[in-house]
Amino acid sequence: MRIVLLGPPGAGKGTQAKKLAERLSLAHISTGDILRQNVKDGTALGKEAKDFMERGLLVPDELMSKMLLERFSQSDIGDGFILDGYPRNFAQAKTLEDIFRQKNIEIDMVVYLDSSDKVIIQRLSGRLVCNTCGANFHITNMPPKTKGICDKCGGTLFQRTDDKEETIKKRLEVYKGEVSGLIKYYQDKKKLYRLSADGQADVVLEEIVALTKKLYGSPKV
């Protein structure tokens, strides 16, 4: 199964993608995670992407296309994947279509996780991320058992540089400028399914799983 998750920053795409990938035994491809790893490792891509990311802007499409092509050449995507964070605009949706056409594969469903600005700002401004395993926590919604320490692996929790209120607002503005074209694109292809992501993460997860079952009856669910 090949699933694309769309939605504003803070809708919970990363959280849902991780849980879904585990549940359905699919690869999880997060363009944000790949970029952050490149920044951390100081690669050429990371050096080029860093400034855009810190300003809440999109990394140029050419860099993203190259990165994605490389990721889709890896063998773990053979059984299917959850794509989280790509496409972010119409041009990226066309690039994705071209890559998939060459590979003779198609997207099964695009899940659009909708969330209100109020919830997004509350979620992102309190988000904490583990610097070792990438697990997400929240200062009030989902605090770690020990302050500053990841429950899962004992790594150190940090706030993403782009989760500051000014940058969150910029990311939302960028998102809103691009999203309507994307929604129309996938609606026209009859692939788009819209869910509210304002509720608890586990409730949203069950709704996505129910949707996959209804549409595809996945035996792995």
Please list the active-site residues: 13, 88, 127, 160, 171
Helical axes 165-188 vs 117-125, angle rounded to 10°: 130
Give rounded-to-5 percent helix, strand, coil for the chain: 50, 15, 30
Tokens (6 digits) for 31: 């363009």
Nearer to ligand AMP, 169 or 221 (CB): 169
Residue at 89: amino acid letter: N
The Cα 91–Cα 87 span in angstroms is: 8
Q: How many CB atoms lie within 10 A of CB 57?
A: 15
Q: Which is nearer to ligand AMP, 122 or 218 (CB)?
A: 122
- Residues numbered 76 to 95 that lie near ligand AMP (CB under 6 A) are 85-86, 88, 92
Is 58 a binder of ligand AMP (CB under 6 A)? yes
Judged by CB under 6 A, the number of residues near ligand AMP is 17
DSSP 85: S
What mask, x for binding ligand AMP by CB under 6 A, covers residues 37 to 56? ---------------xx--x
Q: How far is the CB of 3 from ligand AMP (least distance, A)?
A: 16
In the numeric block, which tokens belong to residue 198? Answer: 């304002």
Binding positions for ligand AMP, rule: CB under 6 A: 9, 31-32, 35, 52-53, 56-59, 64, 85-86, 88, 92, 162, 171
